[in-house]
A and B are shown apart, each in its own frame.
Chain A
């Protein structure tokens, strides 16, 4: 099945700087890549997603890029704010198995005021 790897596991940035989180996947048939933000004690919530027919998607301060050839996708957060501090998970949906989502192990982002 699909294998998703996520790096780094922890990331600290100064407020206002950019943060980048990278994920790789193994199954070229995966066609949908969501990113989730999980604040302490809360459920993961979708912040942005990208489908395999698109190379980049942006929503205000967050953007996701997808390189299908290299099988990696990245989350970019610009002008970081303290409220961006959370754990971020990438995921890949494997088309061949119907609707299975495979998650990375998470990145704990700390934005230092």
Chain B
């Protein structure tokens, strides 16, 4: 089944304790992206990657890191989490080259609800 898999689904941690949220897709998509979702603010992009070893900042990158060593994986790293990073996080992927003009839609993972105390 074509899917984007995020782990863990729920995570509670304390301020300053490094954590990684994993994301993997099995659709051979070139493009991957991380979003955070907060009430009233919609989906805000954190980082994205156009291909292996190519990453770039989104709208809210502060406090986050990413890496893209393999096409299928795009982990989100919080080196020193703070309470303002408590949020619902979604990983997504798509392939800009498939389909007609405009590429394919974004496929989302099931989300990771992070609480930082």
CB-CB under 8 A for A34 and B101, given A43-B110, A89-B43: no
CB distance from A18 to the nearest CB of B (A): 24
Binds B, one of A47-55, A57-65, A72-80: A47-55
Q: How far is the CA of A101 from the CA of B43 in the complex (A)?
A: 10
The interface size bin for chain B is 20 to 34
Task: Name which residue of chain A comes closest to B44, CB basis.
Answer: A103
Whether B42 lies near A34 (C-beta < 8 A) is no
B50 interface hit (Cβ, 8 Å): yes
Whether A49 lies near B42 (C-beta < 8 A) is no
Interfacial chain A residues near B111, Cβ < 8 Å: 42-43
Interfacial chain A residues near B43, Cβ < 8 Å: 44, 89, 103
CB distance from A39 to the nearest CB of B (A): 12
A1-41 Cβ-contact flags toward B at 8 Å (1 or 0): 00000100100000000000000000000011010100000
A96 interface hit (Cβ, 8 Å): no
Q: How far is the CA of A67 from the CA of B31 in the complex (A)?
A: 28
Jot down 20 A-B pairs with beta carbons below 8 A, ordered by A.
A9-B40, A32-B102, A34-B105, A42-B110, A43-B109, A43-B110, A44-B90, A44-B108, A52-B102, A89-B42, A91-B106, A93-B103, A98-B31, A98-B96, A100-B48, A101-B33, A101-B45, A103-B42, A105-B42, A106-B42
Q: Spell out B's residues near A (CB within 8 Å).
A: 31, 33, 35, 40-43, 45, 48, 50, 90, 94, 96, 100-103, 105-111
Q: Spell out A's residues near B (CB within 8 Å).
A: 6, 9, 31-32, 34, 36, 42-46, 49, 51-53, 89, 91, 93, 95, 98-101, 103-106
**Top 8 A-B pairs, shortest CB-CB distance:** A32-B102, A105-B42, A99-B96, A43-B108, A103-B43, A99-B31, A51-B102, A46-B105
